[in-house]
Amino acid sequence: MTGAESTAVLLLRVVLGVTVIVHGLNHWRGGGRIAGTARWFTGLGLRHGRLQAWLSVVTEVGAGALLVLGLLTPLAGAAVISVMLVAGLLAHRRNGFFVFKDGYEYVLVLAVACVALAMLGPGDVSLDAAAGISIDGWAGGGLAAGVGAAGTAGLLAAFWRPGAQLPEATAGEAPNGPRAETPHVTPAETPDTPPAKSPAANRVETPQESPDEGQQPS
């Protein structure tokens, strides 16, 4: 591997690793924190949402760190591929391709980049190279893609229950999705009520006599 090729692989590895690490930390510390991430997983139909949230944090931070270090690169890529497959299949596939419509564009790029990195190898500036670990080419790409797909299939078989009432939802952590709306009563459906009368309308008017009517006949 030439110096330019090794630098290119290092750049790809570090950017992928840091991106995945930040993504995992956001599941832990960002927004709704672990509780919010758990509700998101529950909303996808996965049982044990809190467990899924912690698994995603550990997997993404751990795999990202391995990618940055260049250690066990194909397996680190397989972990990222598995996470991206789960997100792509359950959360983004129905929204189409484009990321600005919450589609699978982003997760597809990360997953394919991990397969390509496993095929290229970690490069000379890596712990794999220092330790003499060399799994690249078709073997590296096949290992990353195969283990990633197998991990996804195993997780879905064990935890995915679409359409089921999940324990997290009944325990107060409702799944993401449209909230129940309060029925809106239109004016046509509102019972007719008489308009409120002003105080002046409630007064009893006393008949007034004209001056001619008040005079006694002479």
Q: Report pLDDT for 188.
A: 44
Q: Report pLDDT for 213.
A: 43
What span, in angstroms and rounded, lies between the C-alpha atoms of 34 and 205? 72
The mean pLDDT value for 195-213 works out to: 47
Q: Is 46 helix (H, G, I), strand (E, B) or coil?
A: strand
pTM of the model: 0.74
What span, in angstroms and rounded, lies between the C-alpha atoms of 37 and 182? 26
Q: Report pLDDT for 208.
A: 47
Mark out the alpha helices in 70-126 (DSSP H runs): 73-87, 105-120
In one-letter notation, the amino acid at residue 80 is V
